[in-house]
Amino acid sequence: GDSVTQMEGPVTLSEEAFLTINCTYTATGYPSLFWYVQYPGEGLQLLLKATKADDKGSNKGFEATYRKETTSFHLEKGSVQVSDSAVYFCALRLNTGGFKTIFGAGTRLFVKA
Amino acid sequence: DGGITQSPKYLFRKEGQNVTLSCEQNLNHDAMYWYRQDPGQGLRLIYYSQIVNDFQKGDIAEGYSVSREKKESFPLTVTSAQKNPTAFYLCASSIDRGSTQPQHFGDGTRLSIL
């Protein structure tokens, strides 16, 4: 069935380190892909999205490229800050049959000063 | 500023009791959603509504009920039939009634059993 798999956390980095959070998916057809961020005690916020193969979504220094050949949508940031500490969720939206959104389990990121 | 307001932030339920979680939005969005978040798991869709007076079951609707009498309000009732209600509940909305893609989320309600 359709699913999203994220790397297990927590991920702990020092400030200014390079960040990669892996996300792979299984889906029929051509889904749209998303990254959401959840700061402590808050709801989710849409961080970035990509709607077709080779699209790159970007926002607040974060980037992710829709790779159809590897069914991946890895999140990257060149230099993380303490304020980036949060839980990051990868998600896909099926573009057929009810347009269902499926979320990954989330990856917690801790950034140390 | 527009947004989604969930209340209360923390809620405790006794055995056999129904409790209702409030969700209000002033974004003028057509679609609203309820998700349940458990540790180590992704969000799971409980119910969603794409228009007033209409709602659909999500993946885990058993033990829950909703109503959508007004565009801005989508309350969720956790009934006594839900045997494992302890979780973090998130309400969301989107402007597009044609898809189930949540765009804005509230800050959540954490429900615990007494």
Residue A77 to residue B80: CA distance in whole angstroms? 45
* pLDDT value of position B100: 59
Taking contacts as CB-CB distances below 8 angstroms, the residues of chain A near B99 are 93, 99
Helix residue spans in B1-114 (DSSP H)? none
Is pLDDT at A100 greater than 80 in this prediction? Answer: no
Q: List pLDDT tens digits, range B79-94.
A: 988 889 999 999 999 8
Q: How far is A37 from chain B (nearest CA, A)?
A: 11
Residue A84's pLDDT band (boundaries 50, 70, 90)? very high
Is pLDDT at B101 greater than 80 in this prediction? Answer: no
| Top-confidence residue, A84 or A99 | A84
Arithmetic mean of pLDDT, A73-91? 97
Q: Is the CB of A102 less than 8 angstroms away from the CB of B42?
A: yes
Residue B78 to residue A67: CA distance in whole angstroms? 40
For B51, half-sphere exposure in the C-beta direction (CA atoms, 13 angstrom radius) is 3
Q: Which residues contact B97 (CB under 8 A, 6 or more apart)?
A: B30, B31, B50, B51
Does B39 contact A at CB distance below 8 Å?
no
* pLDDT value of position A65: 98
DSSP assignment letter at B69: S
Size of interface A-B (CB pairs under 8 A): 51
A84 in helix, strand or coil? helix
Residue B102's pLDDT band (boundaries 50, 70, 90)? confident
Q: How far is A86 from chain B (nearest CA, A)?
A: 14
* pLDDT value of position A53: 93
What single letter denotes the amino acid at residue A6? Q
* pLDDT value of position B21: 97
* pLDDT value of position A25: 96
Arithmetic mean of pLDDT, A33-52? 91
Residue in A44, A101, A102 nearest the CB of B90: A44
Identify from B4, B9, B30, B37 which residue to disrupt to test chain A contact, counting A C-beta atoms within 10 A and taking the largest count: B37
Is pLDDT at B2 greater than 80 in this prediction? Answer: no
Residue A36 to residue A75: CA distance in whole angstroms? 10
* pLDDT value of position A44: 87
* pLDDT value of position A24: 97
E strand segments, B9-108: 10-13, 19-25, 31-37, 44-51, 54-57, 64-66, 76-78, 87-94, 104-105
Q: Which residues contact B48 (CB under 8 A, 6 or more apart)?
A: B31, B32, B33, B34, B55, B56, B58, B100
Residue B97's pLDDT band (boundaries 50, 70, 90)? low
Taking contacts as CB-CB distances below 8 angstroms, the residues of chain B near A102 are 42
Q: List pLDDT tens digits, range B4-52.
A: 999 999 999 888 899 999 999 999 999 999 999 998 778 899 999 989 9
